[in-house]
Structures are given as C-alpha cells and as structure tokens.
Amino acid sequence: MRHRAYSRAELARLVEPRSIAVVGASAREGAFGARVLENLAHYSGELYPVNDRYPRIGLLECYPSLKALPQRPDCVVIAVPREGVEPVIDEAAALGVGGAVVFSSGFGEVRAAEWHATQARIVRRARAAGLRMLGPNCMGFVNQSLRAGLTFIPEYARMPHRAGPVGIVSQSGALGYAVAQAAERGAGFSHFFSAGNSADVDVADLVSYLAEAPECRSIALVLEGIGNAQRLLDSGDRAWRAGKPVVVYKIATGEAGAAAARSHTGSIAGSQAANRALFERCGFVQVGELEALFETARFFARAGRPLGSGVAVVSGSGGAGVIAADMAERHGVPMPQPRAHTLEKLRGIVPEFGAARNPCDPTGQVLNNPESFKQCCTALLDDDQYGALVIPLGVALRGAGAERVVQIRELAAQYDKPICTVWISEWLQGPGSADYEDEPKATLFRSMDRCFAAIAAWQMRSRQVLAETRSRLSPPDALQRTHAILDAAGEALGERESKRILAAYGVPAIEERVSRNADEAVRAAREAGYPVVLKIDSAQILHKTEAGGVRLDLGNDAAVRRAFEEIVASARDYAPQAEIRGVLVQPMAARGVEAIVGARVDPQVGPIVVVGLGGVMVELLGDAVTALAPVSPSEAREMINRLRGRVLLEGFRGARPADLEAFALAVARISELIADGADRIAEIDVNPLVCRPDGVQALDALVVKQKD
C-alpha cells in the first residue's frame, strides 16, 4: 500500500501537459474521441489525434499510433473500448509518456475477475514506467489554466471560460461535473477531476496535487469510499500546510453495517463517526449536502483568518435581517451589537425609521443615496468586533444590483474580512446574480443557513489546533505483554485477560479474585471486603449482564453462596457451549460517573477510539465522541469536553468533579493500545470506566481479537 500521496511534480505531466495525444480520436460526431478533441479546442499545447483510420481530423493531422507522433506526448487520453486499453498503456509506457487518462469502464468495478486482473496489470506497468494514470472508468479532468478538457463530457467545450479559485475533486464524474457546472452561472473553478476506479491516481493524490497548484485556493471534494486513510491524511496534511482548506461532502453514509459489531463500541462509533474522525484529523471541513459544497469551498478560498468573532449584517429587508439573526443563533455565530463609536457613525447614516444596529437596515433611502449603504458597511467593518460581513440580497430586480456589486467589490478590496452576499430570491439566476458570482473577493451564497454554517465552520477551523506530537505513554514492553496474553487466549478474551491487557497499558482496573466454587467465592469475598460483586468468568460470554452473570452489592457469605450458584446456572442456561472457568469476585466499587471508552479498527479508517458517558447518555442519546487512535492526553481531554454530558463529570448538582486528567489519560492509553495492536485486536470495550474525584477505574473490560 502506498501511504504517501503523489506530489504536484509527480503528477505534472498528467495534469499540466505541454502536449496531449488522443488515442481513439474520431471525426464521428458524438463519439468520445470526437468530444475530447472538441473539449481541447482551446488547449494551448500540442495536440495529436491518434487513429489509423483518419489522415486528418478537422485541421489537425492524425497519426496512426503513438510511436508515429513527431514527439513524445506528456499525456495520453485513451478513448478506446475496454479491450484496446492495455496495448495503448503498454505503448505509452514504452515511449515514456508521463500521464494517461482512461475513460473506458468494465475493469475493477465489474464482477469478472479477468478484468480486475487486467486493471492490476495496467497499473503495475504504468507505475513501473513512471506513467501516472487517471481512471479507468472516469470522466477525465479539466485544467482551466490550460483551457484543457481531457474529458468526453459534451458540455465543457461550450462552457463559458471562467477560472475560479476552487479545485473540484470527485470519485463520481457525474457528481463532480454537476458541481463544476457552477461555471455556467458565472462561478468559475480551477480544476475538475474525476478519479473513477482510482486504480493509480486517487482523490488523495488529486487533493495533494491541488495543494501545490497555484491557481487553486481551496478544494471541493466529493468522496464515496475512503480508499487509503493514510494517503488521505497525507494529502490533508499537505493541503493544511499549503493553507488550502478542503471541504468534503461524503456520500454513502449508511450505517447498516454498524449493527453487526460485536461490542458496544461498534454500535456507538459506526463508520460515519470513524469518517468524521478521519476528516477532522485531515483538517477537512465536512458539509452535509452536495449543494453546500461549492459555496462553502468558494467561501474558504477567500476567507483568510478570522479577525473578529462577530458577524455584522447590513440588509435593506427587515425580514432578511431577521433570518440572518436566526441562522447566526442556529450555528452559534455571535452577532454582537456595534461598539459605541460604531453606533454613533451608524446613527449619522441611517434614517430614524431604519435600524442603526446589528442587523443594520439603512432602509430604502439607499435608493436615493447609494453611498449610505457603503457607509454602513464601512462603519461595521471598521468595528473590531466583526470578522465578517453578511449582505442579504432580496427581490431580484432588472437593472438593479450592478451598483451594489461595485460597492461590494470596493469594500472587499479594502478589508481583509470576508464579505458574504446571500441571494434570497427564488429567481435563482436572476438579474445581477452573475455579477455577484464573478466577484472574486466576496462569496455568493444561495442560503442564509449555509452562509452561517460556513462562517461557523471557518471560526471553528481557525480555533482548531493541529494534531500535536504525541509521546508514548505506555512502558516499552506493553505490546509484547499484550501479544503474550493474546497468544494464550485463544479466540476470545474474558474479563480477566482483557483487564490484564489494560494493565499492561497502565489503565487502572478493579482487582478481582477467581473462585471455582462457592467456598472459594466466600473466601475471596472476605479477602476483598464486603460488599462484593460476583461475575461469571468465561471467555465465550461477552455480554455478562444479558447472561444473568452479574450480581452486585452482596453483603454477606450467604448472599455470595446463593449468587455463585445462580450465576453459574444462568450462564449455563444462556450459553450451554461456553467454557465456564468460575466466578470473579470483586469489591463493590465506590460510586462515580460511569463512562464508556471503546476502540476498534475500522476497515476503512483504521484504529479509532470513542468516549462517552454510561447509561442513557450513550445508549439512548448517542452522546459519544470518536477520534483516530492514538490520541494524546490533551486530545483526549478535548474529546471529553465535546460530550454534551460533560457537566456530569464537572460536578452536576453539587457533586464533586471527577478527575478529568486521569480520565483523559486512560482514554489516551486505550487509544495507544488499539493503535499498537491494530493487526490483532478488533475491538476494545471498557464499560464502565468509573470516574471519581480521586481517579478512574475500569470495572469491566472486553477485548475482541481480529478474526484470522
């Protein structure tokens, strides 16, 4: 597995070719090979149609093969049927071509093993020759700075040429191109890539490329599968360091698979929680709807760093101003009132029947005195409380807007604070909208909700601390001891073995004594001190309470004797095949807040750790936070802070606060365990981990091994 994403230099001949050959070029209208030539009509480099059936196509000379070309092309577009792809790749590889785009479908995405093998062979040969391949089963790509559409989509040739700061990356060509069509209404992009089967170059590589491409200032990513999580992390890191925000819309968010998990952790931290954790670590901004993707990416392309946490609104419609305030509250964005000196300025501009406040309504007088609108904006932008300005645009009027656009352009040039215009009218491409779309310094939203969601994400993102350097928490022999326990344990681990693994990683757990009969149980109980807890000891019984295998708060010998017999009988009843090794005796733990800490190896994302509070908080309400493992103690602390139920830990209703540092340390240690042991451990459940003012203690634990 390749964990490093390709750099811009590695992809330059594919994405920024100085010469392109189109194999399968065609003169037949509508054919892929004809459409590609059309989409390259404005391409400034050398263009070579290749097809032995034509001497020329249009004004271009046509060549019978790649070998016959007057020069070695940087990139080859392969517009031939599936069966013809492999020989072309071979020929290109032999010639030293730098990149290939393969449209044809029917390779890795179909059932037939034969074509999987062909795809694998093609990739191997291409890589050996340093040939980077996009596809197969893709729609190709567009590089606006070269005016090059290496794609068969029929619309690109007729699309208005408009470069913009957003690079679009998608596995699905149709979804990605649907986003790129924003250019048709006036909002340009820098690149559009469809990765298709991602046999060689995948979305992580394309994000990595865009991180270095100067025309691109932010990245809009439509993601279906994760592919290789390490490579995505690498690309996220490159984009972060390059200061290029990545906005991701993840499709395929179904959780049907989560139900199959064996432990609690699986059900409370499903694949979407794992994905979110990955995106957070990547530094990606996640949006929940496709229509938010491009707008949000455009906003981030321009937003810079927040210079104030508040947002000011200037609106000629009272209603639109109210909606802005509603959405600010919904997304937790502050809309403070202006400072005294700002207020004074506004009062000098806004008439009495207007609103000299935030939201500011300069009223219809702006029709008579257009400067007053700009003066209100200036007064608010000068106020250091405000980091952004939102301007709702109401009813679309023919002939209106042009003057306002100029004012907004002037404001945007003058201030380093983002300006957002919000198009309210259902006349979606009404008069003036194209001017706002085309404005490079302000962002046009078509939804107040999405505008404030983007602002909230921007404020959060700037507050986010980059993943810190983690130092090891556990002793050097911890993994070695874990392996020994796993080796001895057979298929599944009981509570005792699970706790021994926790102990190896320094997670405190309650002590226990093993008893094989009632007499031993009574002896153990006296040693532990009453009251005690009895639990069944069997590696095959994962859910002890369900099996009737737990008795709490036993106060004397008789109760222990009775409980021993009942537990064993219940467990035999529940799981007749289970090997029952005896009954564990533990002292009854002191009260505290019950937390749950889990970890598992997600098949796509890798090792993750999840933390929640016990009982209703996590079971009924799903109040849990997931992160990629390992996390440092301070990252674990941050996870705990994000729990809605955290006040329970902080001393709810007069209780003493729990030891949050000890809690965070235990979470970090468990995350280190799953990260270390990911190849052998599938899931870990510590439930409950009791959090008290004087520390934490695991009362029960379950480690599930990976299936071989």
User: Which of positions 641-700 make contact with its own copies (CB under 8 A)?
Assistant: 644-645, 647-648, 652
Dist CA 149 CA 191 (whole Å): 10
Q: Which is nearer to its own copies, 460 or 616 (CB)?
A: 616
Which region, judged by CB under 8 A, interacts with its own copies, from 91-99, 149-157, 516-524, 697-705? 149-157
| Residue 336 binding its own copies, by CB under 8 A | no
Beta bridge partners of 218: 166
Q: Compare residues 112 and 466 and give the one whose CB is closer to its own copies.
A: 112
Q: How far is CA 80 from the centre of its chain?
A: 36
User: Exposure of 216 by Cβ count < 10 A (0-12 exposed, 13-18 middle, 19+ buried)?
Assistant: buried
In degrees and rounded to multiples of 5, residue 233 shows phi and psi of -60, -40
Please name the helix (run of DSSP H) or strand (run of DSSP E) that holds residue 38, with its range, or none: helix 32-39
Q: What is the CA radius of gyration of the chain?
A: 31
Residue keyed to tokens 């094989």: 516
Q: Which of 243, 621, 693, 706 binds its own copies (CB under 8 A)?
A: 621
Residue placing its CB nearer to its own copies in the complex, 153 or 502: 153
We find the least distance from the C-beta atom of residue 291 to its own copies, in angstroms, to be 5
User: How far, in Å, CA of 119 to CA of 138, rounded?
Assistant: 13
Residue 576 CB, nearest distance to its own copies (Å)? Answer: 22
Identify which of residues 400 and 514 has a Cβ nearer to its own copies in the complex.
400
Rule CB under 8 A: say whether 430 interacts with its own copies. Answer: yes
What distance in Å separates the CA atoms of residue 192 and residue 209, rounded to the nearest whole number?
12
Nearer to its own copies, 360 or 478 (CB): 360
Q: Which of 129, 322, 503, 518 binds its own copies (CB under 8 A)?
A: 322
Residue 266 and residue 586: Cα distance in Å, rounded?
27
User: Binder to its own copies among 11, 76, 80, 153 (CB under 8 A)?
Assistant: 153
**Which residue, 590 or 647, is less far from its own copies as judged by CB?**
647
Among positions 97-126, residues that touch its own copies (CB under 8 A) are: 105-106, 110
Asked if 13 and 99 count as a contact pair (C-beta separation under 8 A), the reply is yes
* Cα gap 49→26, rounded to integer Å: 8
**Which of 178, 343, 473, 578 touches its own copies (CB under 8 A)?**
178
Give the residue carrying structure tokens 């106060």.
Answer: 555
Using DSSP, state whether 199 is helix, strand or coil: coil
- Indicate the residue among 398 and 591 with the shorter CB distance to its own copies: 398
Stretch that binds its own copies, among 77-85, 169-177, 479-487, 698-706 (CB under 8 A): 169-177
424 is an interface residue for its own copies by CB under 8 A:
yes
Structure tokens at 487: 């080796």
**Residue closer to its own copies, measured from CB, 304 or 622:** 622
Edge-first strand order for the sheet with 550-554 is 513-515, 582-587, 532-537, 550-554
For 389, residues 6+ apart whose C-beta sits below 8 A from its C-beta are 311, 312, 313, 314, 377, 380, 381, 411, 415, 417, 418, 419, 420
* Selected range binding its own copies among 178-186, 471-479, 517-525, 670-678, rule: CB under 8 A: 178-186
- Among the residue ranges 84-92, 172-180, 234-242, 672-680, the one whose residues contact its own copies (CB under 8 A): 172-180
State how far the Cα of 296 lies from the Cα of 455, in Å rounded to an integer.
Answer: 9
Q: Which residue has the tokens 């090059």?
A: 148
**Shortest Å distance, C-beta 37 to its own copies:** 18
> Binding pattern to its own copies, positions 270-309, x when CB under 8 A?
------------------xxxx--x---------------
Report in angstroms how near the CB of residue 199 gets to its own copies at its nearest: 17
For position 429 contacting its own copies by CB under 8 A, the verdict is yes
- Stretch touching its own copies by CB under 8 A, among 182-190, 230-238, 409-417, 531-539: 182-190
552 binds its own copies (CB under 8 A): no
Tell me how far apart the alpha carbons of residues 505 and 672 are, in angstroms, rounded to a whole number. Answer: 8
Q: Which of residues 350-379 bind its own copies (CB under 8 A)?
A: 353
Q: Is 582 left (phi over 0), alpha (psi -120 to 50) or beta?
A: left
The interface with its own copies within residues 377-396 (CB under 8 A) comprises 394-396
By C-beta, is 400 or 678 nearer to its own copies? 400
Smallest separation, CB 425 to its own copies (Å) = 4
**Which of 179, 201, 285, 580 is close enough to bind its own copies by CB under 8 A?**
179
Shortest Å distance, C-beta 294 to its own copies: 6
Supply the minimum distance, in Å, between the C-beta of residue 379 and its own copies: 23
Side-by-side strand order, sheet with 19-23: 46-50, 19-23, 75-78, 99-102, 132-134
User: How many whole angstroms separate alpha carbon 36 and alpha carbon 148?
Assistant: 10
Do 170 and 176 form a contact (C-beta atoms < 8 A)? yes
Which tokens belong to 120? 């694998």
List phi, psi (to 5°) of 163.
-85, 145
- Residue number, 633 or 645, with CB nearest to its own copies: 645
Alpha carbon 12 to chain centroid, angstroms = 26
Select from 52, 61, 83, 255 the one that contacts its own copies (CB under 8 A).
255
- Both tokens of 479, joined, read 């993994």
User: Is 34 an interacting residue with respect to its own copies (CB under 8 A)?
Assistant: no
Question: Inter-axis angle of helices 495-504 and 478-489, to 10 degrees?
Answer: 170
Q: Which residue has the tokens 């992580």?
A: 204
Q: Minimum distance between the CB of residue 139 and its own copies, rounded to whole angstroms? A: 9
Binding piece for its own copies, criterion CB under 8 A, among 64-72, 320-328, 467-475, 563-571 = 320-328
- Distance in Å, CB of 296 to its own copies, minimum: 12
Separation CA 144–CA 165 (nearest Å):
10
The stretches of 575-659 forming alpha helices (DSSP H) are 616-619, 633-641, 646-649
Nearer to its own copies, 320 or 390 (CB): 320
Task: Tell me which of 76, 93, 207, 323 binds its own copies, using CB under 8 A.
Answer: 323
Neighbours of 634 (CB within 10 A): 14
Among 174, 552, 558, 569, binds its own copies (CB under 8 A): 174
Q: Of 29, 426, 487, 708, which lies in the binding site for its own copies, with binding defined by CB under 8 A?
A: 426
Residue 253 in contact with its own copies, rule: CB under 8 A? yes
363: left (phi over 0), alpha (psi -120 to 50) or beta: left
Range in contact with its own copies (rule: CB under 8 A) among 122-130, 166-174, 202-210, 262-270: 166-174
* Token pair belonging to 614: 């016990």
Cα separations in angstroms, 359 against 362, 390, 396, 412, 617: 10, 9, 21, 19, 38
Count of positions on this chain that bind its own copies (CB under 8 A)? 71
Q: Which of 107, 177, 193, 373 binds its own copies (CB under 8 A)?
A: 177
Rounded to a whole number of angstroms, the minimum distance from the CB of residue 193 to its own copies is 14
Q: Which of 94, 427, 519, 642 binds its own copies (CB under 8 A)?
A: 427
Segment contacting its own copies (CB under 8 A): 17-25, 142-150, 252-260, 517-525? 252-260
Residue in 449, 557, 566, 661 binding its own copies, rule: CB under 8 A: 449
Nearest residue to 141 via CA among 151, 132, 155: 151
Q: What minimum distance in Å lies between the beta carbon of 186 and its own copies?
A: 10
Minimal distance, residue 273 CB to its own copies, in Å: 15
Q: Rounded to whole angstroms, how far apart are CA atoms 362 and 377?
A: 10
Closest CB to its own copies among 70 and 364? 364
